[in-house]
Amino acid sequence: MTTLSAASTTPASAPLREDAIIMALVGLSHASSHFAHLLLPLMFPVFMREFGWTYSELGMMSSLFFVVSGAGQACSGFVVDRLGARPILFTALGLFALACLLASVANSYPAMMLVAVLAGLGNCAFHPLDFTILNQRISSARIGYAFSVHGLTGNLGWAAAPIFMGVMTTMFDWRAAYTAAAFLYLLILALMLFNREKLLTCTVKKQVNLPRGHDMAFMRLPVVWWCFCFFLLSTVTLAVVQNFSLPILQALHQVSFEAATLTLTVYMLCSAFGVLAGGFVASRWPFRSDRIVASSMCGGAVLLALCASGWLGAFGTMAVLAFTGFAVGIGGPSRDLMIKKATPQGATGRMYGLVYSGFDVGFAVSPLVFGAFMDRGWYSATLACASAVLMLSVGVALGVGRKTVQVQAG
């Protein structure tokens, strides 16, 4: 039997204003998580100059963040299902603020690694709690648009981080930038507390309609691991862009640091616009989500391969790299819809927690592998391999679609 503390089904209809407020709050939550992804990578050039750390050491720092986040995310879905999304959200935002405050006074590599641990703990629960709120609180007619807003705001969080941290560092210094980021997280926490009734979700008291009736049974479904692999592969490429696109552009095309940073920001903005457009695509063709995702990833892989070729020159490479974000972004809402269709009933938090931990595994593995590439000066090879990995995700997305049909039929 299914026993929940509140009605667990997605409402068929709700006032537009109610849905819009919930979308905005969850979107801000998601933006704050993506903002945290870049808190350390954006300061890599500063850390190299001030502390003399290598690309491999910096990559290890970024990997630690995502190892902690990935391990925590796989477990946090269970906690969200049992305790609800709100207390986990409030705790996560507090951890982000604490991590930023520690970064503002850190003077050693171990201290900055502790920052990575705290930020990774804060980051681990956002996808399970965000999707739990959306799937329970947003009316079914608007769920595709809710996924679009969720993806859009995440990319805006990525785009805002270089601007915010860069401006604060230029005006003051990097320590002041981290202090300002801490206050920003506390402000977001206060806003969430003020609107806490909008974030209420039901909690699972007993296991619901899963094979053999226990919490871990959903992990036996092959489609779960196909989804996990898709997130792992697609994220490896994104991690290359986030962590190493700046030094790659500088090394291959001698562009300025400011121009390279602007390219990364435009990439994130293009990705956000792609997600926005993808929301309409997902709502128009909800039953073709796997094919839409595969087409999006294929387009992004081709564009990234062009950037790796060196044929485009400095400006052409920056422009095409930025547009790669739009190509990949279109598949974002369809990707989330693809996961929703593959999710067993009553296992939303657990499913999104496990599947999105592939996101963190990809972010953890990529800097280690490609940090070694970068230390050896293999800049073009780094982009070419990232393109190849993204192309692999095309086949996996189509595999998710096939496995989902099998589960629904059987």
Lowest-pLDDT range, 55-59, 173-177, 307-311, 326-330? 55-59
**For 376-403, what is each residue's pLDDT tens digit?**
889 999 999 999 999 999 998 888 888 7
Q: Is residue 360 part of a domain?
A: yes
**For 117-169, what is each residue's pLDDT tens digit?**
999 999 988 888 888 898 888 887 787 788 778 888 887 898 889 889 988 98
Q: Is residue 409 very low, low, confident or very high in pLDDT (cuts 50, 70, 90)? A: low
Question: 190-207 burial, b if ≥16 CB within 10 A, otherwise e?
Answer: eebeeeeebbebbbbeeb
- Find the helix or strand (DSSP H, E) in which 30 lies: helix 16-37
Q: Is residue 58 very low, low, confident or very high in pLDDT (cuts 50, 70, 90)? A: confident
**% the chain with pLDDT above 90:** 33
User: Average model confidence (pLDDT) for the chain?
Assistant: 84
Q: Is residue 21 part of a domain?
A: yes
Q: Is residue 11 part of a domain?
A: no
Whether residue 302 has pLDDT greater than 60: yes
pLDDT: is 14 or 363 the higher one? 363
Q: What pLDDT shows up at residue 1?
A: 33
Q: Is residue 367 part of a domain?
A: yes
Whether residue 289 has pLDDT greater than 60: yes
CB 391 within 8 A of CB 298: yes
Nearest to 288 by CA among 389, 406, 400: 400
Secondary structure of 182-206 in the HEC alphabet? Answer: HHHHHHHHHHHHHCHHHHCCCCECC
Q: Mean per-residue pLDDT for 90-103? A: 96
- Find the helix or strand (DSSP H, E) in which 336 lies: helix 332-342
Q: Mean per-residue pLDDT for 364-378? A: 86
Q: Mean per-residue pLDDT for 174-180? A: 96
Q: What pLDDT shows up at residue 305?
A: 94
Q: Is residue 93 very low, low, confident or very high in pLDDT (cuts 50, 70, 90)? A: very high
Nearest to 387 by CA among 317, 298, 295: 298
Label residue 259 left, alpha or beta by phi (over 0 means left) and psi (-120 to 50 means alpha): alpha
CB 387 within 8 A of CB 237: yes
Q: Is residue 9 part of a domain?
A: no
Q: Mean per-residue pLDDT for 312-334? A: 90
Q: Is residue 213 very low, low, confident or very high in pLDDT (cuts 50, 70, 90)? A: very low
Residue 157 belongs to a domain with what CATH number?
A: 1.20.1250.20
Whether residue 253 has pLDDT greater than 50: yes
Handedness of CA 360, 46, 152, 241 (dihedral sign): negative
Lowest-pLDDT range, 82-96, 252-266, 288-302? 252-266
Token pair in block for residue 148: 């679009």
Whether residue 410 has pLDDT greater than 90: no
Instruction: Report the domain count for the chain.
Output: 1
Please give the model's pTM, rounded to 2 decimal places.
0.75
Q: Is residue 343 part of a domain?
A: yes
Q: Mean per-residue pLDDT for 5-16? A: 55
**Domain coverage including residue 308:** 16-196+217-409
Q: Is residue 175 part of a domain?
A: yes
Q: What pLDDT shows up at residue 152?
A: 82
Q: Is residue 269 part of a domain?
A: yes
Q: Is residue 212 very low, low, confident or very high in pLDDT (cuts 50, 70, 90)? A: very low
